Amino acid sequence: MHPRPGEPAPPGLRVLADDPSAADQDAYKVASTQAAKGVAVVTTRQGRWDHAVTVTDLLSVSYDPPTMLVSLYELSRIADVVVETGRFALSLLSDAQAPIADRLGWSGAPLVGLLDQVPFFRREPDAPAVLAGSLAWFELRVAEVHPVATHRLVVGRVVAMGSDASPGARPLVRWRSEYRR
């Protein structure tokens, strides 16, 4: 989208360099918060330890076969464990679960006791935790992993799913860097 000679540039136009500056990255962060996103929690289990993180970058990729994608920070402990174990769960949160999203979204959350104050269940003894009260939940097997920039895009095939929300539950949404109801 280039303005014609003599026409003004569109408002807010910013052209990024091949190697974006810190100011470009900051402008991108602000612009990208304009997309309203559903809030979810990714969980996995390795040995006796549960791992969990709040995410907003997820996508239903295909209905045939049921497939989803989630973006995880490359250097996070959970990204390593999801790839190592080859399975994870994704719980879509209701607006009543904002405190859980905050608790599990903190980057310094301790591994020991991570889910002690979070109601959850497991489909089978060693399965990833599914957050109780979720609008919908999906248990997935890792199908592919794609490193992109600072993240890993993890593609998973759905092996089980359900809903545990109360009637009338509404989604937790993140927009402009805040949770919205």
Sign of CA dihedral 77, 83, 84, 89: positive
- The pLDDT-based confidence of 53 (bands split at 50, 70, 90) is very high
Task: Judge whether 46 lies within some domain.
Answer: yes
- pLDDT(1) > 60: no
Percent of all residues in the chain with a pLDDT value above 90, rounded to a whole number:
67
Number of CB atoms found within 10 A of residue 128's CB: 27
Distance CA 77, CA 72 (A): 10
Q: What is the pTM assigned to this prediction?
A: 0.88
Structural domains in the chain (count): 1
Max CA pair span of the chain: 68
In a domain, 139, yes or no: yes
Over the stretch 122-134, which tens digit does the pLDDT of each residue have?
Answer: 999 999 999 999 9
- Confirm whether 48 is domain-assigned: yes
Residue 50 confidence (pLDDT) above 60: yes
Whether residue 7 lies inside any domain: the answer is: no
What is the rounded average pLDDT for all residues in the chain?
A: 91
The SS3 of residue 97 is helix
Note the pLDDT of residue 128. 97
Domain of 67?
37-169
Q: Is residue 179 one of the residues assigned to a domain?
A: no
Q: What average pLDDT does this structure show over 93-106?
A: 93
Question: Could you tell me if residue 159 is inside a domain?
Answer: yes
Give pLDDT tens digits for 142-153: 999 999 999 999
The pLDDT assigned to 85 comes to 97
- What CATH number is attached to the domain comprising 42? 2.30.110.10
Residue 168: the pLDDT is 92
Q: How confident is the model at residue 28 (pLDDT cuts 50, 70, 90)?
A: confident
Q: Is residue 21 part of a domain?
A: no
Does a structural domain hold residue 162?
yes
Q: What is the pLDDT of residues 133-143, one digit of tens each?
A: 999 999 999 99
